[in-house]
């Protein structure tokens, strides 16, 4: 009954070259330091998108009662996708997104 493929693995960020460890209890899909993501999924974790573009963290979505979400925008095809903030995301990086909002 799983709707998403939860891929959980560490990776090296293509934007800031930070080594991002695998996430505990969630699907890691963005860098914990610069918050950049990569356009590789059609559905979270499936790695089915052919684009492969870097996804810039554009803003933070704050809705009461829901986890904070980073809105990622693909720099190649302009695709937008919200991603849940993970506990070890760099708080300073998150704050710069709030200012833009």
Q: What is the contact surface with Zn ion in residues (CB under 5 A)? A: 13, 15-16, 18, 31, 33-34, 36, 39, 51, 53, 74, 76-77, 79
Which two tokens mark 62?
A: 């704050």
Query: Please, what is the minimum distance in Å from the beta carbon of residue 11 to Zn ion?
Result: 10
Query: Please, what is the minimum distance in Å from the beta carbon of residue 100 to Zn ion?
Result: 18
- Phi, psi dihedral angles at 99 (to 5 degrees): -60, -35
Distance of CA 98 to the CA centre of its chain: 16
d(CA 71, CA 80): 7
Residue closer to Zn ion (CB basis): 47 or 76? 76
């Amino acid at each position: 009954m799983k709707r998403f493929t939860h891929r959980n693995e560490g990776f090296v960020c293509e934007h800031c070259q930070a080594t991002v460890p695998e996430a505990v209890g969630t699907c890691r899909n963005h860098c914990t330091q610069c918050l950049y993501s990569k356009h590789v999924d059609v559905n979270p974790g499936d790695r089915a998108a052919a684009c492969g573009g870097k996804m810039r963290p554009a803003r933070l979505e704050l809705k009461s009662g829901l986890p904070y979400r980073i809105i990622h925008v693909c720099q190649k095809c302009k695709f937008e996708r919200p991603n849940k903030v993970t506990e070890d995301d760099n708080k300073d990086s998150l704050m710069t997104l709030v200012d833009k909002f």
